[in-house]
Amino acid sequence: MKFSGARTEIDARSRARAKRSAFFLACALSIIRASAAPAKTITIDDSGTQSLEPSVSLRWKSPAPSRAGPDNLMVGTTTIRVRINVMPWLRRTGRIYLNLPAQPPGPIAASWTTQGRFLPGQLQSGNRVLVYAGPIASPFMEDVLTFRFSVDGTLIRRSFPVSFHFEMDED
């Protein structure tokens, strides 16, 4: 009887340990699941953004392009005064991205410099890149960005618009 009582006591301890382990495992999995949940991406209102030049004049990067070789790149620059409405995230910390969607005439590369709060950077169409991470202390964020666009000159048949927008990831 003592033996079976001792065995019962050991079994009770084992079951208690198993329950605690299961509880902590469930907690750990819920934490992992919560952090792995995708953030909701919101397009930021950039209706206050203005282009300082109405159009970008592209020119051949190489002085004598072959139009069939590796030197068929066309480049152009423009300056944009960015004003985005970040009122919904006021007094919170945020991560703002610049998104350059895939668009005609084909792959576009963009790089930019800044004069204020945003980070300089570069990206290819179809991607996005972080331009700001930190506290949102005012309802609007402003900066002046000088963009340099590059595109394969063999794809250019006529003028084309280039669209981009800013995004915020919400948890």
| CA–CA separation, 139 and 134 (whole Å) | 14
Residue keyed to tokens 């592209």: 58
pLDDT at 73: 87
Long-range interactions of 49-56: CB distance < 8 A, separation 24+: 49/80, 49/81, 49/82, 49/83, 49/84, 50/80, 50/81, 50/83, 51/78, 51/79, 51/80, 51/81, 52/78, 52/79, 52/80, 52/81, 53/78, 53/79, 55/159, 56/147, 56/149, 56/162
Q: Determine the topology of domain 40-170 in CATH.
A: Immunoglobulin-like (2.60.40)
pTM of the model: 0.73
- In the chain, where the domains are located: 1-37, 40-170
Closest alpha carbon to 40 in 89, 83, 82: 89
pLDDT at 140: 97
Record the tokens describing residue 59, joined without a space.
């020119």
Record the tokens describing residue 74, joined without a space.
């066309």
List the end-to-end C-alpha distance of the chain, in Å, as a whole number.
58
Q: What are phi and psi of 138, to 5 degrees?
A: -135, 160
Q: What are phi and psi of 120, to 5 degrees?
A: -70, 165
Q: Taking the chain (171 residues) in consecutive chunks of 10 residues, what is each chunk's mean pLDDT? A: 46 56 52 60 95 84 66 89 97 96 93 96 97 96 96 83 91 65
DSSP state of 154: G
Residue 146 · residue 120 · CB < 8 Å: no
pLDDT at 5: 47
